[in-house]
Chains A and B, each alone.
Chain A
Amino acid sequence: MKRRAPPSPQQSVLFVFILVAISVGTWISGLFPTPQSILDRPWVRESSPRIGTVEVADIEAFDVYRGAPTNGIFLVVSLQGEGVPEPLTYDAVLIDAEGRTSHRHHSSSCGIQQPGLPTPCELAFEVDPAALPGAQLRVARDSVLAERDFLAVDLLLDDARTAELLDDPRRSDYFGEDL
């Protein structure tokens, strides 16, 4: 059997060049976002034709909310919506000062918002009180789990406002009555 000749220096250099070219090409390709990653990215804005606009009507702190105690604090945000294009409900996530995401407590939810008929709406978030100053709300329609379209709502929580809220938190029973 005829023995194969070893690769020439030119062939070896070409082989290494091809490997380097593939590696560099892969690295450059990785610098660009994929179409799916662009679609998956949250779209945060002030108003949306799909949601309308939302303002914060009130903020309160509870250490017992609807009968549920907490080692943190319940931040209860009342929302006032406007311009909903069709019947929908609101859901939201709270982004705290450390950039962490919190979901609403299961005992709070918003009712159906009918076009032209704003309905009072209250969402409670069980959060770390130390990270409240600077916290933001991101409101979505229907469910934050399924949505990428968010309204950015500033809670206007500075150190003084947070301290005021935490100074005397409320307590409510299962039915929402004060304890």
Chain B
Amino acid sequence: MSTPAPQSPGAVRKVADALRTELLTRANLRLLLGVAAVGVLGLFGGFDAVDSDTPRHALTDVVGEPLTADPVEVVLTGTGTTLNLVGEEFPTLEMTVTNTGTRPVDGFALARILDWQGQEESTYATTQRPDGSSAGTLNPGVPVDLALIVPAGPDPVLVLNSVTWRVSNLDGSEQFFDPVPVAEVTL
């Protein structure tokens, strides 16, 4: 077995020069620095969900108090129960909702305003009036008593969202869009 021939200092310098001029360029170092910064942010929780800064209330603290979620005002009045058509009982959250805007709020918009945290299902089908009918349309200035079925599971949180009336980018229709949480209520 023969020993490898020692590399000439010229070849090492060539490699070092190539690295310095072609790989360790100023642009590549900036890119590396950016990637490192993102990595450090990630290590310190930079990619975790941001904690909600929406005010959170206990139901007992806000019963009877008006909560504003444009374009409606919601007054939570307590809890109750309701029966479905086959006699099964469901817990409900009861409230009076008043449309303080200038145009009707239909059931779809109301379902964007009243939302249960972490629930994928809309509240459209679980919001009803005292006579058992659907919430329907809330016309301006009329307080409407509503019962919202509380979803199964631990620690349900009601989220109240403000919505904005604007033209849809998809079909040009005008509707309430862009729900923004303004209050959370724990039961």
Question: By the criterion CB–CB under 8 Å, are A127 and B129 in contact?
Answer: no
Please tell me the number of chain A residues within 8 Å of chain B, measured between CB atoms: 22
Q: Which of B17-25, B83-91, B137-145 contacts A (4 or more CB under 8 A)?
A: B137-145
Is B39 part of the binding interface, using a Cβ–Cβ cutoff of 8 Å? no
Within 8 A of A (CB), among B125-162: 129-131, 133-134, 136-137, 139-145
User: Does A130 belong to the interface (CB within 8 Å)?
Assistant: yes
B104 at the interface (CB under 8 A from A): yes
**Number of residues on chain B facing chain A (CB within 8 A):** 20
A87 within 8 A of B: no
Shortest beta-carbon distance from A76 to chain B in Å: 14
* Residue of B103, B104, B130, B143 contacting most chain A CB atoms (<10 Å): B104
- Which B residues are CB-close (under 8 A) to A106? 133-134, 136-137
Question: Which residue on chain A has the smallest CB distance to residue B101?
Answer: A100
In the complex, the answer to whether A102 meets B140 with C-beta atoms within 8 Å is: yes
Known: A100-B103, A101-B103, A106-B136. A131 touches B141 (CB 8 A): yes
For the complex, is A105 an interface residue (Cβ under 8 Å from B)? yes
A-B contact pairs, 8 of them (CB 8 A): A70-B142, A96-B140, A100-B103, A101-B104, A101-B140, A102-B139, A125-B139, A127-B142
Interface residues of B (CB under 8 A from A): 96, 101-104, 106, 129-131, 133-134, 136-137, 139-145
